């Protein structure tokens, strides 16, 4: 049951920094995080290094909790409460998933930036790693980990219409779950040519 939460975390990343898909300016015309003009979803300037929520957009990574992943540390995950809200969460993503520049001049980090162009889709990959705990039916605290790989696959995707969960490693010894939960395709994150049918 806990392994569903990792997939839900993608919504936090996608909503956190939204960018319109348009043709990008040449790379030398792109705004950078260092320039101080790129903002997050609520208008705060994005800076180099980890912010108070756990995002490091320059390095394409997040290290925080479900609570902080929605950029609002209030003891909830997008307004929802639960034992998982304080679980440790790490995310990493590719430049095409979410770039660390703004080339379309909308003040947000670009999504779908591939070879200097925004292609309308974030043609990249994302990984989530959750390290958490919960109290079982006997009142005993239990530990679990969950790791997922998600890639852009084009119109054939079963996740948001264009993405596919290609691997999940789920460990919850108390529930009897250990090791590889599911895997499709090639090792690693695969290549777009492997996933797309267009």
Strands 88-93 and 125-135: antiparallel
Residue 107 has what pLDDT?
A: 95
Of 119, 153, 171, 152, nearest to 6 by C-alpha is 171
Q: What angle do CA 92, 173, 128 make, to 5 degrees?
A: 10
> Alpha-carbon Rg of the chain, whole angstroms?
18
pTM of the model: 0.80
3-state secondary structure of 56: strand
Beta carbons of 108 and 38 less than 8 angstroms apart: yes
pLDDT in tens, 102-136: 988 999 998 877 654 445 567 789 999 999 999 99
Q: What is the pLDDT of residue 126?
A: 93
The 10 Å Cβ neighbour count of residue 71 is: 19
Range in 14-18, 73-77, 186-190 with the lowest mean pLDDT: 14-18
| 193 CB-near residues (< 8 Å, 6+ apart) | none
């Amino acid at each position: 049951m806990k392994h569903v939460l990792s997939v839900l975390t993608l919504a936090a990343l996608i909503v956190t920094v939204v960018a319109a898909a348009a043709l990008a300016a040449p790379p030398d015309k792109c705004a950078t995080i260092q320039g101080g003009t790129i903002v997050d979803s609520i208008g705060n300037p994005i800076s180099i290094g980890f912010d108070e929520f756990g995002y490091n957009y320059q390095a394409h990574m997040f290290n925080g909790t479900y609570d902080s992943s929605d950029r609002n540390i209030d003891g909830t995950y997008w307004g929802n409460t639960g034992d998982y809200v304080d679980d440790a969460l790490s995310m990493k993503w590719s430049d095409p998933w979410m770039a660390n520049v703004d080339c379309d001049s909308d003040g947000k980090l670009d999504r779908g930036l591939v070879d200097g162009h925004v292609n309308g889709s974030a043609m990249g990959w994302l990984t989530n790693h959750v390290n958490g705990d919960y109290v079982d039916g006997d009142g005993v605290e239990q530990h679990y980990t969950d790791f997922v790989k998600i890639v852009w696959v084009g119109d054939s995707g079963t996740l948001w219409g264009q993405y596919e969960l290609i691997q999940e490693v789920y460990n919850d010894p108390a529930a009897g779950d250990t090791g590889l939960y599911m895997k499709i395709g090639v090792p690693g994150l695969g290549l777009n040519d492997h996933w797309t049918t267009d």
